[in-house]
Structure formats: C-alpha cells, structure tokens
Amino acid sequence: MEVILSADGLFKSYNGNNVIKNISLSVAKGDFLSIIGNSGAGKSTLLYLLAGIEKPDRGKVLLEGKDLFSLNDTEIAAVRAKKTSFVFQFDNLFQDLTVLENVMLPGIISGRKRKEIKNNAELLLEYMHISRIRDSKPSEISGGEQQRTALARAMITN
C-alpha cells in the first residue's frame, strides 16, 4: 500500500487558541479522506495544512514523500495545482462558466491536453449523473447539482 499523503504531529493555533492538536494520519493511493466534526472543530484548518495552504506551528506534511513546508511558495503552488483537490463547504463554482467548463478548469490549469481533460470531465459528469446539465451555468442548477459539479471538479486531476 503506497502512502501518498501523511501528516505527523500537526499543531496549529490562532491567537493562543489550539485548533489542531497532535494530528497524525496517512492516506494510501486510491483512498478518499473525509474529515467530519462539529462547527469550529478545525476541519478546514486541517485541510489547509494538508494542502500546504497554511503552515503548521509544529509537525510535518508529506505529499508523495516530499515535506510540503520545505518547498518554496512557487513549488507549493505547483504541487497544489497538480496533486491536491478538495471540495469546499460552499461549492465556489465560477458563475460565468458552464458545468463542463467548471469541471475542466483544474485539468487545464495543470497543463494536461484539453481533449483528454474534456473526455475525463464528460465521464465524471456521467458518473455523477449530471451530464444532462453540462451546458448549464451554476445559477441554473440545484444546490445538489452544484455540489456534484464541485466534486467532479475536485476529481478531474486524479
């Protein structure tokens, strides 16, 4: 089992308030990670640490064996664009783009071939049962369809 993401002894506090306390985890290739907890429990903070968006006060995050926080800002941004994705609590879809375009966007940013990305996006839309709304804008679809669009967008780079 190949571990692709691991965290060891993560701590993070804001204004003296400990939000993340000694979190360690590992995620194997092909696994999905869900973080569940009460409002204010630190779920978003943990995601930001795992994605390299925020730095921990202590501890390490390794992505494919590389310590994220030993990389410079440009290298971390490249890793985030190509290796990580997650669905926000609120879908954050681009309102001027169609469902298909929203799903394709991370793949385009990662530099992959547009035809390959479009094919993968269309497969994801079918898998999520939203291919019929591929040409709709986010404002024209339901909240559940928006969440499935955001989930498909998160999966396009994997």
**What pLDDT is stored for residue 2 in this prediction?**
92
> Long-range contacts for 26-33 (Cβ within 8 Å, ≥24 apart)?
27/3, 28/1, 28/2, 28/3, 28/4, 29/1, 29/2, 29/3, 29/4, 33/5
pLDDT in tens, 9-38: 999 998 888 999 999 999 998 888 888 888
- Global confidence as pTM: 0.61
Strands 66-67 and 3-14: unpaired
**What pLDDT is stored for residue 87 in this prediction?**
66
What domains are defined for the chain? 3-83 (3.40.50.300), 99-155 (no CATH)
pLDDT in tens, 127-151: 999 999 999 999 998 888 998 999 9
Q: How confident is the model at residue 90 (pLDDT cuts 50, 70, 90)?
A: low
Output the average pLDDT for the chain.
89
Place of tokens 């992959």: 112
CA distance readout (Å), 72 to 47, 54, 76, 129: 19, 13, 6, 40
Strands 17-28 and 66-67: unpaired
**What pLDDT is stored for residue 143 in this prediction?**
83
